[in-house]
Structure 1
Amino acid sequence: MNNIINNPHWQELIKKIQQMTLMDDVFFNSFMDNNFGAMEYILNIIMSRADLRVSHIQAQHSVPNLYGRSVRFDVFATDQYGNEYNFEVQNANDGAEPKRARYNIDMLDFRKLNAGDDFDKLPETYVIFITAQDVLSYGLPIYHIERCIMEVSQQFNDKAHIIYVNGENTDDTPLGKLMQDFKQPDADKMHSKLLSDRMKYLKSTKEEVTKMCNIVEEYSAKRFDEGVRVGERRGERRGERKGKHKMILQNIKSLMRNKHFSATEAMEALSIDKAQYSRYLALL
């Protein structure tokens, strides 16, 4: 194990891990995996309660979808009442857009019912985004989003809830101190001993550091592969567009050559959008 830890590549990974906080999803997932005490502590602060007990936790919970996009929850938890929680930590605003919250809510329901099941079997669900910035930009520490009946200003009461926790709020309230801890890489500077002890364990125990290095390396490889696939898809689309433009250009040239049209007359005859004229004139 010493040989692994002393490897220069792994030294870089270890340095990266030492700087990680609970706002880094890969670290948050490892931190919360089967960590019932920490999950209950975080959940009760966010929900402004003291009685919630967690009966199930699963990090990186995947929900396959044969008919569309699958989803992978950062952390999925269930409380003693059967309520379900999807926790997502986001350092970047574009990972916490409203339509993602909507999709996650839908996928929580998607995995629950079998054909013929009664809708009463659907549990109360919460999608909770903990974001580094104030994504909704109203300057509030926390946002609760509910469906409502607009005409009578009453909740629709479908038992599906979305919560955004604003990581920019670092005041002296329990929620503000929790956000301070979420952004703190140094375990000794955390307010919560419960979170601090877990942070120390993950960052100082050789076995756990080695495990974290493997996780970070695997995660980085997956992100790279995903980036390559996205790049390939974009390349294919660019290739398709390039082929289309090439064909249009050939048609313009054919009309100019065979019909003695001007370039503008040829583009008019081909019903090309006038906004594209300058593009084809430059290509000609």
Structure 2
Amino acid sequence: MDLGKVVITLKEKEEKVKDLRPIDDVFFEVLANDVNFCQEMLQILLEDKNLVVKDVVVQSSERNLYGRSVRLDALCVLGNGKKCNVEVQRSDNDDHLRRVRFNAASIAVKDSQEGEKFEQIEDIIVVYISQFDIFKADRVLYHVDSTIRETGNRVDDGLYRVFVNTEVKDGTTVSEYMECFLKKEVNNSKFPAFTKRMNALKHEERGLNAVCEVMEKYEQKAVEEGLSLFEKAITMLASGKSPSEVVLTGVPQNIVDRASRAMKPKLNK
């Protein structure tokens, strides 16, 4: 028994997760770790009611063979053998198209076999869920295809990209489904798997335990990353770098300020 581990009650766990929404990374990671939820989600977002999901691998799963550099919020294996990587993004602070390309390429390379012909490389679908309209064309759903510029003909290179957002409200089923991603509770008869999964994670002990466990992992990772950045700042300041130079290397200003304060007693000796 770990005597240093704080045990919290079921009620306290409910309080801890009550404000989490499907659009939040930490919550979606647990939410998507369910075949029925992912199957219903992809049937709606890919507009294919016959679509089947056979398996799901989430970012924190021990079965994740792709590494943390490849974002796998939910990698779904479909009934036809294709893989569909679902990503969730709240902040508009990245080059989203390049992120999609990198992750899809990483999955394809990891899953390819030595000596395999290119025609044997598996098709990959990417569903990119964002809290903002990425293309600012007032649409809830976008399909991005590779095309020949001169003819306008579509080229099938095995990569299918679908971008969907929670910002645009157009009255469609997809839009209604995406609205659920912004809610703390979901109770919609149109989306029974979504409703059931949300209720399990918010109000049942097993689900609450799963959410809290992932939250703790995220919190621990944040602490470790903060400590690493703090140590980097201390080392750079000690070598004569100015605070502004340290910030330019990617260390947040607040961590540089803390490191500077920690260095002052040593400098005054």
Q: TM-score range by the shorter chain?
A: 0.7 to 0.9
Pair 228,62 (structure 1): closer, same or farther in 2 beyond 3 Å: farther
* In structure 2, C-alpha distance between the alignment counterparts of 1:219 and 1:195, rounded to whole Å: 24
Structure 2: runs of 5+ lacking an equivalent: 1-5, 245-269
The structure 1 residue matched to 2:7, chosen from 4, 7, 17, is 4
* In structure 2, C-alpha distance between the alignment counterparts of 1:151 and 1:118, rounded to whole Å: 28
* In structure 2, C-alpha distance between the alignment counterparts of 1:138 and 1:240, rounded to whole Å: 49
Please state whether the residue corresponding to 2:133 is helix, strand or coil: coil
1:46 lines up with 2:49 in the alignment: no
Structure 1: runs of 5+ lacking an equivalent: 246-284
* In structure 1, C-alpha distance between the alignment counterparts of 2:35 and 2:206, rounded to whole Å: 21
What's 2:115 paired with? 116
* In structure 1, C-alpha distance between the alignment counterparts of 2:144 and 2:227, rounded to whole Å: 36
What's 2:215 paired with? 216
Give the drift of 1:43: 0.4
What's 1:82 paired with? 81
Please state whether the residue corresponding to 1:143 is helix, strand or coil: strand
Letter in 2 for 1:173: T
Q: Is the contact made by 1:202 and 1:208 (CA closer than 8 Å) also made in structure 2?
A: yes
What's 2:225 paired with? 226
Taking structure 2 as the reference length, what is the TM-score of the superposition? 0.77
Larger Rg: 1
* In structure 2, C-alpha distance between the alignment counterparts of 1:5 and 1:190, rounded to whole Å: 33
Give the drift of 1:235: 6.4
What's 2:70 paired with? 71
* In structure 2, C-alpha distance between the alignment counterparts of 1:179 and 1:192, rounded to whole Å: 11
Give the drift of 1:147: 1.9
Give the drift of 1:94: 2.2
1:144 lines up with 2:143 in the alignment: yes
Q: Is the contact made by 2:21 and 2:27 (CA closer than 8 Å) also made in structure 1?
A: yes
Letter in 2 for 1:194: A
Root-mean-square deviation (CA, aligned residues, Å) is: 2.8
* In structure 2, C-alpha distance between the alignment counterparts of 1:72 and 1:5, rounded to whole Å: 31
* In structure 1, C-alpha distance between the alignment counterparts of 2:200 and 2:155, rounded to whole Å: 44
The one of the two structures with greater contact order (alpha-carbon pairs below 8 A, sep at least 6) is 2
1:32 lines up with 2:32 in the alignment: yes
* In structure 2, C-alpha distance between the alignment counterparts of 1:223 and 1:131, rounded to whole Å: 23
Give the drift of 1:183: 1.2
Please state whether the residue corresponding to 1:55 is helix, strand or coil: strand
* In structure 1, C-alpha distance between the alignment counterparts of 2:76 and 2:87, rounded to whole Å: 12
Give the drift of 1:240: 7.0
| Structure with the higher helix share, 1 or 2 | 1
Please state whether the residue corresponding to 2:58 is helix, strand or coil: strand
Pair 232,155 (structure 1): closer, same or farther in 2 beyond 3 Å: farther
Please state whether the residue corresponding to 1:70 is helix, strand or coil: coil
Please state whether the residue corresponding to 1:162 is helix, strand or coil: strand
* In structure 2, C-alpha distance between the alignment counterparts of 1:228 and 1:85, rounded to whole Å: 35
Give percent identity, aligned residues only: 23
Letter in 2 for 1:193: P
